[in-house]
Copies of this chain bind each other. A is one copy, B any other.
Amino acid sequence: MDMKTLEEAKDIFFGRFRPDRRTGPEEVSVEEAWGRVTAGPVFASMSAPTYHSAAMDGIVVRSEDTYGTTERNPKILKIGEEALWTNTGQAIPDGYNSVIMVEKIHQLDETHVEIRTPSYPWQHIRKVGEDIVTTQLLLSENHSIRPYDVGALVAAGVFSLKVWQRPRVVIIPTGSELIHHKNLRDPGQLQKNQIIEYNSLILAGLVRECGGVPIIYDIVLDQEEDIKYALEKAVDSDAHLVIINAGSSAGSKDYTANTIEEMGEVLIHGVAMMPGKPTILGVIKDKPVIGNPGYTVSATLSFQQFVRPLLLHLQGCKVPKVGTIKVRPTRDIPSKLGIEEFVRANIGKVGEKIVATPLPRAAGSITTLTRAEGIVRIPALSEGVSQDEEIEAELLVDEEEILNTVVIVGSHDVTIDIIGDEIRRRGYNVRVSSGNVGSLGGILALRKEACHMAGSHLLDTESGQYNISYIQKYLKGVKASVFHLVMRDQGLITAAGNPKGIKGLEDLTREDITLINRQAGSGTRVLFDYKLGQLGIEPDAIKGYGHDEFTHMAVAVDVLSGAADCGMGIFAAAKALHLDFIPMEREQYDLIMPSAIVNDPNIQVVFEIIQSNTFRERVTALGGYDPSKSGQFWMEVG
């Protein structure tokens, strides 16, 4: 079967399962009605108010008895005969038809009051049906019931009503490599070639977000008969929709499409979208069966395109437009012609521009979804977008959050995460978005106005000073302020117990030692190369010098997994993974920002945090950090 474009696939799928398809009605009590959708028009069973009542405190009278009363010619009414005391809300007794408010009455004695103006019929009376008249249309069909609709229902004597059933969605996780996390006492028990199953939990959450009820089946092995058995069970159940979620190992034989074809019909096999290409859309016994791709991001995006609209329609809900925002990419985003691409991006407002920095495109990377503020959609007919184009991004967070995002890019440091966490802990409406592009990358991003601050620890090997000469060179013309964030220990990260007995950089030329390097433009690389130069060691003499990573943690992970024997990085990374560490330098890590924004409220929140004791304590607890100068202004450049 040919791959279809996203639009074609939608046309076919929603042509088969049309927007007027519904789950079917069920009767619920008003107590359960909130958030449900009416399965038919609802009419009032009674009027509200149900009786004429006083709208004021005072007396009820017959208006005829008050005619002719004037200021000069007051009238005396006898309580119990011509007038009765009443309170707001009390029923008007038979035979009376008007209320005089207490402020207009002069009480003469126990049984007599004087009035000085006449009262007209129905004065200050809330009449039957003033709010609701029996038989009137109260709520239309397909109306989402809000809290005050519930009140109106009860007020109108409607104590139960028909709503659309919540769509029930069976989710079948498949994959022989999958293991349910409940079957692991702790994560350390995980074996090689085992993957914890979590797509079904994500899909269940997405189903609930759409008002549906997820039913997660046990994990099904990659065997045709097992898949068929699970699908049969699902299709014959009372579910309205079935999602079968392929295992992550796309290489294992894919039985899903075959089985659906055998049991029913495959409408679509492959959609020209990325991530999400291997989506299968089918139908068995008139029930929609969706073969969702195995990679998490693919599964999520495919769900949003096909399952979400259907779940909403099934309950009579409209599909709300996804919020969008105009953004400017901080770099060109190339894309494959003929494929609609969904690029997750960090988005924030820098100066007057909303900037979007694309995140890695790996479809298996769940953090590209959790970290993203939005998704840039690149149409199939485009080969990508350039950084000069304004484009639209779909929002994953509130627009207000975007406007209050502080964008920090540059060198990677754990303390940036702590800033973000402390801001949220204190309840500030400010979000920190951080991108790891190396120290020099950060300064260049400042120059492009793609971030608010750059985190940098670039050593000028001639002056011995950090950052300043780089700012002078790469930020020419921009007045920039430099603040200390932390001092931190750099050194060689080695395996736990240092099995190869590495003592220092001199050992890196040994035949049995493989290095993992950091990327060019990172402060760590500058420091490393400087140290090698001091010792007169040639890069060519070091095995692995040409292989680099983008973060301290990645270096530490390579050492942990044995992919390398050592690499330069900060103590905190070694400590986190229980590795050994040979300290070599206490370096300076600064935050650089345009002087013009230093007093912006959101930036001031960052200062409040990094000057706080809590921040210092948390940073100290990481080890290898010295926060004594955190938040101190160092110098203005330019």
Contact = CB atoms under 8 A, between A and B. Distances in A.
Interface of A: 19-20, 30-31, 34-35, 41, 45-52, 54, 57, 86-91, 97, 121-122, 126-143, 146-152, 154-155, 157, 159, 177, 181-182, 184, 186-188, 190, 192-193, 195-199, 201-206, 208-209, 247-252, 296, 300, 313, 316, 318, 320-321, 362, 364-367, 369-370, 398, 400, 414, 417-418, 420-421, 423-427, 429, 547, 553-554, 556-558, 560-561, 563, 576-577
A140 B425 contact: yes
B362 A198 contact: no
Nearest to A50: B190
Nearest to A300: B148
Number of copies: 2
B557 A150 contact: no
Contact of A150 (B20, B202, B364, B577): B202
Given A51-B192, A141-B424, A192-B91, A149 B181 contact: no
A561 B52 contact: yes
A277 to B, nearest CB: 14
A561 B554 CA distance: 80
B426 A318 contact: no
A249 to B, nearest CB: 4
A201 B201 CA distance: 32
A446 to B, nearest CB: 24
Contacts of A155: 196, 198, 296, 366
Closest 5 CB pairs of A and B: A87-B251, A147-B205, A157-B187, A89-B249, A154-B198
**Of listed A50, A97, A130, A149, residue having the most chain B CB within 10 A:** A50
A136 B193 contact: no
Contacts of A296: 148, 151, 155
Nearest to A21: B427
Given A150-B205, A370-B152, A365 B316 contact: no
A141 B57 CA distance: 52
B206 A127 contact: no
A519 to B, nearest CB: 14
B151 A201 contact: yes
A557 B47 contact: yes
Contacts of A122: 547, 563
A320 B398 CA distance: 9
Given A148-B370, A151-B199, A557-B127, A136 B417 contact: yes
Nearest to A148: B369
Contacts of A50: 187, 190, 195
